[in-house]
Chain A
Amino acid sequence: MERTWSKGGPAADLLIKGGRVVDPEAGIDASQDVLVTKGKVTELGKELKPGKNTRVVDARGMLVLPGFVDLHTHFRTPGREDEEDLATATAAAAAGGYVAAFGMANTDPVVDTASILRGLAETARAEAAIPIGFFAAVTRGLAGEQLTEMGELGAAGAVGFSDDGRPLATAALTRRALQYVKVSGRFVAVHAQDDSLFKGGQMHEGAVSARLGLTGIPSLCESLDVSRTLDVAEYENAAVHICHVSTAASLVAIERAKAAGVRVTAEVTPHHLTLNDEAIAALDANFKMNPPLRAESDRKALVAALQSGLLDCVATDHAPHAAEEKDVPFEEAPFGCIGLETAFSVLYGALLVSKALDLATLVTRMSTAPARIAGLQAPSVRPGAVANLCVVDPKAKWTVTAGGLQSRSCNSPWLGHELSARVKLTLAAGRLAWEDLA
């Protein structure tokens, strides 16, 4: 059954020559030519010859990787197309090496009926440069009162259900959602947050918030709700996905649940893996997100958990905001930052260079694992697979600038910073979705 849609286009015929192909699922890590014919990988090998109409790409010194899958994007469509639409979001995703992305339901209107979902799928067929899909809301209008028609929404292609942006406020609601979601065969993705501890929060509670005088969001605010959610999931034997894990205490709860056989998966964002609460000191609203940037000890624990697999995947929580919304005093600014175009570069520069993470693991966590959670065939570079891959120049340096992004918004914490590694080419569903070759 369809759960992603895109606008399509001509199938690619490409010979990608001399790159280092790293596809951990297929057991490949070698310098190989990759021949793509009519949108499929048809051959891997040395010194492959192009066909008559095959374009040749010189990938010497570059990485050829299975394309990435993002489980947590805010497309801002419908309702805030001034911040992002499906064309700009998918252009940004493709420029970041993504071959599929899934949007959260907190749009205006909320994705809480099959007709809204079908309308979005239509728009995606007209505009999306890569295949995209959508979460539907757990509760109507994200109001936390009444469950959505999960059966019909699942049949219409919802990838899963989430009230992301809002927690499931009570144990009773969490329980009903995890029971009823079984009619759809999908999973619930939870934004874990105890609202009574969140109240007025601006940043992580700790020494930095004490110094800055900003109301803190305690790590307990997240970990309490993660624990409760996992207890309910265990009791109901239900599949649950924990969104944007940010604290070491949440990892303890997830580890305990996994050991007990709970069907839980969990994601972490590039910003929580690479930045900490010290970054707030300049009161730049591009560093204001929810969950907030945590303490350095949390960050280190997240990196270790991503390497070990306790955290299953990287997800961007790409959250565009209009310039005028972020260009206000820190305390008045909305939460969120964009991340699709910078995700791989940020993680490569911050974690691979320092060897905190290895490349094969990063590829698995950005590609194979999120694809499986979404119920997609995992992207692969092995012969016979539909071409879902990206070519990355690991030595490229590039600076994030407001005008240089594909996204319609520029609220990136890396604005003005130089990043290493850049995606040079992306093939999504066998079609050329992004190219930045000299």
Chain B
Amino acid sequence: MPKRDLISIEDLSRADVELILDTAESFLPVLERDIKKVPTLRGRTIINLFWEASTRTSSSFDLAAKRLSADTLALKASGSAVEKGETLKDTAITLSAYSPDIIVMRHPSAGACQTLSANTEASVINAGDGKHQHPTQCLLDLFSMRQNLGRDLSGLRVFIIGDILHSRVARSDIMGFRMLGMDVTLVGPPTLMPRGIEEMGVKVEYDLANLKDADVIYLLRIQKERIKAGANFLPSLREYSELYGISQARLRPGQRVMHPGPINRGVEIAADVADDHENLIAHQVFSGLAVRMAILYRTIVGYSDSAASGEVL
């Protein structure tokens, strides 16, 4: 079986996506047991390479691998040979000597996963590369939506609000949401809206006038560096919050708020929304574990139906 990478949502067919979500669902009972571990990937080796800060993605990948009984190895840029100037190609060759089955990588540069994949026999899973893609975030978002809003997500109206220009999450989510038939609207300041993004099949708006039409409101983190002098993406966080921040007053009953985290209270999300149990933010974190277990599992055993998850559990 040739190795299978997950670098972009575009690497998956709709059937693949649904299989991952079904597999994740089948792992849920494992996570409720006293002994939260199955022997499924015993003897397999999974390396986590995080060249960029991460809390939830790196911890959930690590825990997911351990829940499946795989051996894991975690590497960060600081304290590694990267600080001595080793290239990614050479890191890939070095780590490949341990014959890993999967290398999970987060990297600040788009294209890093392709470089890694070209130099290792291991399957590469993208845990975020520059502003390019974050496919596992998209899959866990889809899982949270399916668990909370019903299995058929087609026709669901999603507003993605914030810094689309710099967001790898937005790009993966747009592809995944569109793939499952959702109606996607992007909202944000024109300075943070990529020129030509409409060609991904989305609507673009610069204000919240139509927010009432949304079933799901997906908020993106606003980075403080966007207001640095000279950048001129935003005049101030205060004005951003005024124009685009989501508080309970702006929501109608039944609208569900999502956020990939970490959140900026008082900027893109008001405390009353962040603390409201109706939001799906904590569920997204929870989903991260089951979905990443499913992704690791499918990457190793394959995406065919004959490798149905139930039989192996």
Q: Considering the chains assembled together, what is the distance between the CA atoms of A331 and B131 in angstroms?
A: 10
The yes or no answer to B88 lying at the interface (CB within 8 A) is: yes
Of the candidates A205, A206, A208, A213, the one whose C-beta lies within 8 Å of that of B110 is: A213
The yes or no answer to A332 lying at the interface (CB within 8 A) is: yes
In chain A, positions 298-357 with a C-beta closer than 8 Å to chain B are 324, 327-333
Complex contacts, B87 vs chain A, CB 8 Å: 324, 327-328
Complex contacts, B133 vs chain A, CB 8 Å: 213
Q: Are A212 and B199 in contact (CB under 8 A)?
A: no
Q: Are A283 and B111 in contact (CB under 8 A)?
A: yes
Instruction: Return the CB mask of B74-111 against A: 1 if under 8 Å, else 0.
Output: 00000000000001110000000000000000011111
In chain B, positions 128-144 with a C-beta closer than 8 Å to chain A are 129-133
Known: A213-B171, A214-B131, A324-B87. A329 touches B195 (CB 8 A): no
Q: Are A211 and B171 in contact (CB under 8 A)?
A: yes
Q: Considering the chains assembled together, what is the distance between the CA atoms of A215 and B131 in angstroms?
A: 9
Q: Are B132 and A327 in contact (CB under 8 A)?
A: no
Instruction: Return the CB mask of A202-224 against B: 1 if under 8 Å, else 0.
Output: 10011111111111101000000
Instruction: Return the CB mask of B110-150 against A: 1 if under 8 Å, else 0.
Output: 11101100000000000001111100000000000000000
Q: Are B171 and A329 in contact (CB under 8 A)?
A: no
Q: Are B199 and A210 in contact (CB under 8 A)?
A: yes
Complex contacts, A331 vs chain B, CB 8 Å: 108-112, 130
Q: Considering the chains assembled together, what is the distance between the CA atoms of A333 and B200 in angstroms?
A: 27
The yes or no answer to B194 lying at the interface (CB within 8 A) is: yes
In chain B, positions 183-224 with a C-beta closer than 8 Å to chain A are 194-200
In the assembled complex, how far is the CB of residue B143 from the closest CB belonging to chain A, in whole angstroms? 23
Q: Are B114 and A283 in contact (CB under 8 A)?
A: yes
The yes or no answer to A284 lying at the interface (CB within 8 A) is: yes
Q: Are B88 and A328 in contact (CB under 8 A)?
A: yes
Q: Are A205 and B111 in contact (CB under 8 A)?
A: no
Complex contacts, B171 vs chain A, CB 8 Å: 211-213
Known: A212-B132, A213-B132. A330 touches B114 (CB 8 A): yes
Q: Are B200 and A329 in contact (CB under 8 A)?
A: no
The yes or no answer to B298 lying at the interface (CB within 8 A) is: no
The yes or no answer to B168 lying at the interface (CB within 8 A) is: yes
The yes or no answer to A282 lying at the interface (CB within 8 A) is: yes
B: contact size bracket: 20 to 34
CB-based nearest A residue for B171: A213
Complex contacts, B195 vs chain A, CB 8 Å: 205-206, 209-210, 216, 218
Instruction: Return the CB mask of A272-309 against B: 1 if under 8 Å, else 0.
Output: 00000000001111000000000000000000000000
Most B CB contacts (10 A, CB to CB) among A215, A285, A324 go to: A215
Q: Considering the chains assembled together, what is the distance between the CA atoms of A240 and B72 in angstroms?
A: 61
Q: Considering the chains assembled together, what is the distance between the CA atoms of A327 and B199 in angstroms?
A: 31
Q: Are B168 and A329 in contact (CB under 8 A)?
A: no
Complex contacts, A327 vs chain B, CB 8 Å: 87, 89, 115
Most B CB contacts (10 A, CB to CB) among A206, A210, A214, A327 go to: A210
Most A CB contacts (10 A, CB to CB) among B111, B168, B197 go to: B111
CB-based nearest A residue for B172: A213
Complex contacts, A285 vs chain B, CB 8 Å: 111
Q: Are A213 and B168 in contact (CB under 8 A)?
A: yes
CB-based nearest A residue for B175: A211
Of the candidates B108, B110, B199, the one whose C-beta lies within 8 Å of that of A207 is: B199
Q: Are A329 and B131 in contact (CB under 8 A)?
A: no
Q: Considering the chains assembled together, what is the distance between the CA atoms of A267 and B176 in angstroms?
A: 42
Q: Are B197 and A210 in contact (CB under 8 A)?
A: yes
Q: Considering the chains assembled together, what is the distance between the CA atoms of A329 and B124 in angstroms?
A: 14
Q: Considering the chains assembled together, what is the distance between the CA atoms of A105 and B196 in angstroms?
A: 37
Q: Considering the chains assembled together, what is the distance between the CA atoms of A202 and B108 in angstroms?
A: 14
Q: Are B89 and A328 in contact (CB under 8 A)?
A: yes
Q: Are A329 and B196 in contact (CB under 8 A)?
A: no
In the assembled complex, how far is the CB of residue A169 from the closest CB belonging to chain B, in whole angstroms? 17
Q: Are B115 and A328 in contact (CB under 8 A)?
A: yes
Complex contacts, A208 vs chain B, CB 8 Å: 196
In the assembled complex, how far is the CB of residue B137 from the closest CB belonging to chain A, in whole angstroms? 13
In the assembled complex, how far is the CB of residue A292 from the closest CB belonging to chain B, in whole angstroms? 14
Q: Are B115 and A282 in contact (CB under 8 A)?
A: no
Most A CB contacts (10 A, CB to CB) among B108, B132, B171 go to: B132
Known: A209-B194, A213-B132, A324-B87. A329 touches B199 (CB 8 A): no
In the assembled complex, how far is the CB of residue B246 from the closest CB belonging to chain A, in whole angstroms? 24
CB-based nearest A residue for B112: A329
Complex contacts, A283 vs chain B, CB 8 Å: 110-111, 114, 132
Known: A210-B199, A213-B131, A214-B132. A330 touches B110 (CB 8 A): yes
Q: Considering the chains assembled together, what is the distance between the CA atoms of A330 and B196 in angstroms?
A: 21
In the assembled complex, how far is the CB of residue A363 from the closest CB belonging to chain B, in whole angstroms? 37
In the assembled complex, how far is the CB of residue A197 from the closest CB belonging to chain B, in whole angstroms? 12
Q: Are A206 and B111 in contact (CB under 8 A)?
A: no
Q: Considering the chains assembled together, what is the distance between the CA atoms of A285 and B168 in angstroms?
A: 20
Q: Considering the chains assembled together, what is the distance between the CA atoms of A216 and B196 in angstroms?
A: 11
In the assembled complex, how far is the CB of residue B177 from the closest CB belonging to chain A, in whole angstroms? 14
Q: Considering the chains assembled together, what is the distance between the CA atoms of A216 and B110 in angstroms?
A: 13
Instruction: Show 19 residue pairs from A and B whose CB-CB distance is below 8 angstroms, ordered by the A residue.
Output: A205-B195, A207-B199, A211-B171, A211-B199, A213-B171, A214-B110, A214-B130, A214-B132, A283-B110, A284-B114, A324-B89, A327-B115, A328-B115, A329-B114, A329-B115, A330-B109, A331-B108, A331-B112, A332-B109
Binding site for A on B (CB under 8 A): 87-89, 107-112, 114-115, 129-133, 167-168, 171, 194-200
Given contact pairs A214-B131, A324-B89, A331-B109, a sample of 15 additional A-B residue pairs in the complex whose CB atoms are under 8 Å apart = A202-B110, A205-B195, A206-B196, A209-B196, A210-B194, A210-B196, A211-B197, A212-B132, A212-B171, A213-B110, A328-B87, A329-B114, A330-B111, A331-B130, A332-B111
User: 5 nearest interchain CB pairs?
Assistant: A330-B111, A207-B196, A213-B131, A210-B194, A283-B111
